[in-house]
Each structure stands twice: as structure tokens, then as C-alpha cells.
Amino acid sequence: MQLRPYQTAGAAFLLNTPRSMVLAPEWAIVPSVWEYREGKLYWRIKAGRGTSVRHPGDEVAPAPDPHGYQFVTLRRKHYAVHRVVFLLVHGWLPKFVDHIDGNPGNNLVANLRPATHLQNMRNAKTRKDNTSGVKNVYWHKQVRRWQVRLSIAGKQVSFGCFATLDEASAVAAQARADTFGEFARHA
């Protein structure tokens, strides 16, 4: 395919830039709309109309969703604050931005890191339907003991069965730390 002269600069950028670093058009306007200072977002432009006008320099008031994630809105599009902050500070946007401490309301730069989907899931909280109260520990009915299992590379790997929940919990915590590294979450 023959490129026109005005297309070569854009094509060269797209060919030489990793796919994860290319912003979708709706995210490309973010740096011109908001700025991040001292742990908070501020408006760079005048936005809104009527009584809800925001002026440059005004602090952004994000709205939380039921899960605790904060969102800001511009032109009827919702932007997750943790993704906006990561983009403003680092200049690129990964597919997933992980909250290190697991608190979706804590959007400080030091608490955000790029992650894959799998890494993000490994840092998830203990599920509400967990009956043992400990991640990766299950009651094995046939042997009547606590079993430690982790999903590694799509396969369920058993780390043994234990008489007490405390033993199983300690083995599960060590297995998570060894297997998942910095993305291991124990609670």
C-alpha cells in the first residue's frame, strides 16, 4: 500500500511504537483536559455549563461506583481516575492498572502499577463466597482435610492437604508469594 506524504509520520509512529503504548482516540485528549498534582486531579480547561461549570485549576470531584472505583466524566464519557492518573504521570496506558494495596479509591501514583489481566486477578481480594476465609484453601470432603490449590498457567496445582486451617493458610501464603511474586495478595 502506498502512503501519502502526510500519512508517513503517523504510520512511522504506529509501526515503531509498541501496541500497548498507542492511545485510543478517546484517551488522547486526557492530558489536555486534566493534570495531576500532589495526589489530586485538576481541570486544565473550562468544562460544563450552567451551574456545573469547572474552571482551569479547579479540583476534579470524582464519583465513586458501587465497587469503590472513582470516575470522572467529560462529554458523556466516563474515565476511571486510576487510569487517568497513570496516563498523566507515565505518558502511556497499559491494558490494566493495578492498585497495589487493593483499595480502588487510593489513586496515588505510588499505589498504581501496570499489570496484565492475570497479574491483576492474582492481586484480587478474597471472594465473598469463599467458605474457608483464606485464599486458595478448600475443604477436601473425601480426605476430610484442608487442601491448598493454586491456578498456575491454567492448571490447578495442589500443594497438599493439611489437618488444620492454620497450616493450610501458611502453606497457601508461601505458595502465593513464591508463585505470584509482587502480585501475591494474602487477604
C-alpha cell at 14: 504506529
Give the model confidence (pLDDT) of 110-141 as tens digits. Answer: 999 999 888 888 877 878 888 888 888 999 99
Query: Tell me: the pLDDT tens digits for 38-66?
Result: 889 999 988 877 667 788 989 998 999 99
The structural domains of the chain, ordered by start, are 5-115 (3.90.75), 127-183 (3.30.730)
**CB atoms inside a 10 Å sphere around CB 58:** 13
Instruction: Note whether 98 and 80 are within 8 A (CB).
Output: no
Q: Is the pLDDT of residue 78 over 80?
A: yes
Residue 17 CA to residue 144 CA, distance in Å, equals: 54
Distance (Å, whole) CA 148 – CA 160: 6
Contact in structure between 96 and 118 (CB atoms under 8 Å): no
111 grid coordinates: 499505589
Looking at the predicted structure, is the pLDDT value of residue 10 above 70?
A: no
